[in-house]
Amino acid sequence: MKNYKQHFPIGVNGQKWVFKEQNAGDYLLASYSTRMSQAEILLFPCDALGNVSKWVELYGEVGDLCPADIHKVVARYNSGRCW
């Protein structure tokens, strides 16, 4: 089980957050976007400053979402309930 915890926000209006995995020290970027027809939250591996290290989605959700849902999406990813 993963254990990513909030590290710090980047961007504006809480639309991007960096999370740090407490055991392995890995980081992920959680990003909220409305560029597509529906809102989406995507998770990508990144470094400690939020620079994406691989443009491969770790996980994502699409639908009736808002920036505040980032924390819920990361919690689902942490628990493994997203698969």
Q: What is the pLDDT of residue 39?
A: 95
E strands within 11-80?
Answer: 16-21, 27-33, 39-46, 59-63
Q: What is the pLDDT of residues 36-54, one digit of tens each?
A: 889 999 999 999 888 999 9
Q: What distance in Å separates the CA atoms of residue 66 and residue 51, rounded to the nearest whole number?
A: 22
Q: What distance in Å separates the CA atoms of residue 46 and residue 18, rounded to the nearest whole number?
A: 8
Q: What is the pLDDT of residue 42?
A: 96
How many other C-beta atoms are found inside a 10 Å radius of the C-beta of residue 38?
12
Between the alpha carbon of residue 13 and those of residues 9, 52, 68, the distances in Å are 9, 19, 10
Evaluate whether 30 touches 17 at the Cβ level (below 8 Å): yes
Q: What is the pLDDT of residue 73?
A: 93
